[in-house]
């Protein structure tokens, strides 16, 4: 039905064909219907006198065209019909129903005319237009991009304060109603936990979902206009979380002495306890150490050869950093745990410094000098120690001697053995193989191999030439004489 409203009127007046006569058209928008998106317009035409009284009579053809719709009729007046100066006689009156544009706006063109051969003036014409009222239509809707779990603000552009709005959602293929006939202009949508879980379940490998808010506008129980919509992107950014990490030393030599991380020799196993968001799984675990990033598809990783450290209140620390990634590609906040750190020095014998020599050319004793590197400090509650040992055997044989332990001296993080005369006797006519080892609380070095050479002459010069021990010619041993002999001719 049409709503009452203030009448909007426009009047157009032109001279008729004969001076003194006027032709007038009055266009009135009397009301409009919100439900039908239509205005109701009345157009009236009149013949009048400009000043002095006069008269006319007979039949005239009259026409009104409004918004493209023409209506014609004939009008008969008795003779004489008087018109006073400034007076008007109604010729035609028509009511039109005007449909508005989808946005409620509308402008119309109107013209009217008459013609006759019975009286003077013989014709009149006038034209004009009217901007009709903009009829309130469906509320507009707007929404921004949001992350799943945030309250979603929906702005409703209401055209009339009494209108209500029914809001619905389309999130991917999921559809439902948010609220029915709310009177709010700004609606805050708090998504239910059930719907959020449904979204995560339906889109397990997606973190951005194209979504839409739909708005139907109502005047009472009557829907106004078409459904309006606004699109937005819903981002699933709920992150996996790390509850804790467990650091377990795998090197039993270290774990038997300390809970600290020992440079070079510790082998900590890092176990990550993480929680994946609803509808996801943990895809990968990342372990950051010493400027490197390692990853695993399981929650455990063993790190080796740890060297990086930093100082906190004069205490050395090393840092373990982990994070996880779920199957949507979302990553957790980095989890950090610091452990005390021992700046251990790798145990090593400096093989280039080993000096093993006989004390004389025909003697059976030998002396030893060597150097190396060692950690000179505490490991847990224990002072690190070092033991140097060696063993030997005749070259070419398989049987080694028992190990012999010798003492060394510390000089900072180095150790030394200087000009130590070995207690064993080594036949100067033979060659010996030696192996040297160093052992501290955590490590034993690889064997350092050295040869103690024979000092017996392997040649003898005489007046007839020279003899060589062990020389063969054509696979036959050449006799060797330790003393000069006279060969027979």
Q: Which pLDDT score is estimated for 328?
A: 86
Average pLDDT over residues 314-318: 95
Whether residue 114 is predicted with pLDDT greater than 90 in this model: the reply is yes
Q: Which pLDDT score is estimated for 481?
A: 53
How far apart CA 384 and CA 343 sit, in angstroms, is 12
Are 193 and 94 in a shared domain? no
> Given pLDDT bands bounded at 50, 70 and 90, which one contains residue 489?
very low
Per-residue pLDDT reduced to its tens digit, 26-73 = 999 999 999 899 999 999 999 999 889 999 999 999 999 999 999 999
Domain boundary among 131, 149, 175: 131
Are 52 and 95 in a shared domain? yes
Per-residue pLDDT reduced to its tens digit, 130-164 = 999 999 999 999 999 999 989 999 999 999 999 99
Whether residue 486 is predicted with pLDDT greater than 80 in this model: the reply is no
Average pLDDT over residues 10-22: 75
Flag whether 23 is in a domain.
yes
Total domains in the chain come to 5
Are 408 and 334 in a shared domain? no
Please provide residue 193's backbone torsions phi and psi, each rounded to the nearest 5 degrees.
-60, -35
Whether residue 6 is predicted with pLDDT greater than 50 in this model: the reply is no
**Backbone Cα Rg of the chain:** 55
Q: What percent of the chain has pLDDT over 70?
A: 91
User: What range defines the domain where residue 169 resides?
Assistant: 140-235
Whether residue 5 is predicted with pLDDT greater than 50 in this model: the reply is no
CA distances from 92 to 84, 149, 344 (A): 19, 66, 112
How far apart CA 32 and CA 48 sit, in angstroms, is 31
Q: What percent of the chain has pLDDT over 90?
A: 78
Are 222 and 254 in a shared domain? no
What CATH number has the domain bearing residue 190? 2.60.40.10
Q: What pTM value is reported for the model? A: 0.60
How far apart CA 17 and CA 451 sit, in angstroms, is 141
Are 19 and 125 in a shared domain? yes
Q: Which pLDDT score is estimated for 479?
A: 61
Whether residue 458 is predicted with pLDDT greater than 60 in this model: the reply is no
Flag whether 1 is in a domain.
no
How far apart CA 37 and CA 104 sit, in angstroms, is 6
Token pair in block for residue 56: 């006319």
Q: Which pLDDT score is estimated for 4?
A: 39
User: Any bridge partners for residue 45, and if so which?
Assistant: 25, 92
Domain boundary among 64, 98, 131: 131
How far apart CA 426 and CA 364 sit, in angstroms, is 5
Are 163 and 102 in a shared domain? no
Average pLDDT over residues 184-190: 96
Whether residue 9 is predicted with pLDDT greater than 70 in this model: the reply is no
Average pLDDT over residues 192-199: 92
Q: DSSP labels for 456-477?
A: S-SEEEETTEEEETT-EETTEE
Average pLDDT over residues 470-477: 57
């Amino acid at each position: 039905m049409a709503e009452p409203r203030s009448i909007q009127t426009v009047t157009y007046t032109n001279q008729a064909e004969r001076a003194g006569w006027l032709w007038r058209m009055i266009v009135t928008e009397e009301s409009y219907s919100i439900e039908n998106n239509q205005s109701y317009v009345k157009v009236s035409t009149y013949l009048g006198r400009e000043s002095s009284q006069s008269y006319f009579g007979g039949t005239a053809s009259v026409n009104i065209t409004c918004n493209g719709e023409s209506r014609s009729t004939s009008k008969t007046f008795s003779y004489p019909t008087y018109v006073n100066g400034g007076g008007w006689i109604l010729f035609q009156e028509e009511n039109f129903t005007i449909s508005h544009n989808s946005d409620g706006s509308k402008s119309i063109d109107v013209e009217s005319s008459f013609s006759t051969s019975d009286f003077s003036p013989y014709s009149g014409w006038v034209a004009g237009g009217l901007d009709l009222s903009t009829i309130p239509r469906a509320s507009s809707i707007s929404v921004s991009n949001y992350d799943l779990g945030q309250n979603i603000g929906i702005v409703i552009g209401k055209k009339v304060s009494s209108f209500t709005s029914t809001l619905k959602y389309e999130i991917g293929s999921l559809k439902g109603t948010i609220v029915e006939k709310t009177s709010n202009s700004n609606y805050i949508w708090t998504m239910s936990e059930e719907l959020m879980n449904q979204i995560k379940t339906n889109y397990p490998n997606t973190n951005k979902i194209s979504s839409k808010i739909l708005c139907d506008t109502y005047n009472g129980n009557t829907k106004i206009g078409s459904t309006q919509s606004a699109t937005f992107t819903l981002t699933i950014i709920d992150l996996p979380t790390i509850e804790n990490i467990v650091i377990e030393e795998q090197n039993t030599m270290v774990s038997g002495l300390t809970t600290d991380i020992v440079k070079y020799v510790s082998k900590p196993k890092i176990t990550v306890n993480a929680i994946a968001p609803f509808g996801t799984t943990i895809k990968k675990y990342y372990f950051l150490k010493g400027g490197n990033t390692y990853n695993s598809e399981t929650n455990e990783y063993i790190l080796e050869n740890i060297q990086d450290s930093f100082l906190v209140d004069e205490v050395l620390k090393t840092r373990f950093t982990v994070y996880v990634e779920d199957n949507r590609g979302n990553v957790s906040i980095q989890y950090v745990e610091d452990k005390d750190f021992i700046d251990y020095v790798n145990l090593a014998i400096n093989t280039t410094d080993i000096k093993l020599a006989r004390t004389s050319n025909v003697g059976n004793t030998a002396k030893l000098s060597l150097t190396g590197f060692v950690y000179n400090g505490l490991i847990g509650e224990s002072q690190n120690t070092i033991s140097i040992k060696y063993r030997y055997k005749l070259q070419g044989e398989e049987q080694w001697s028992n190990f012999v332990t010798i003492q060394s001296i510390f000089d900072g993080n180095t150790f030394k053995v200087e000009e130590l005369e070995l207690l064993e006797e080594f036949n100067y006519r033979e060659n010996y193989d030696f192996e040297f080892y160093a052992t501290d609380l955590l490590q034993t070095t690889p064997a350092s191999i050295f040869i103690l050479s024979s000092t017996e002459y392997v040649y003898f010069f005489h007046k007839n030439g020279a003899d060589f021990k062990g020389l063969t010619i054509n696979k036959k041993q050449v006799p060797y004489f330790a003393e000069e002999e006279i060969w027979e001719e």
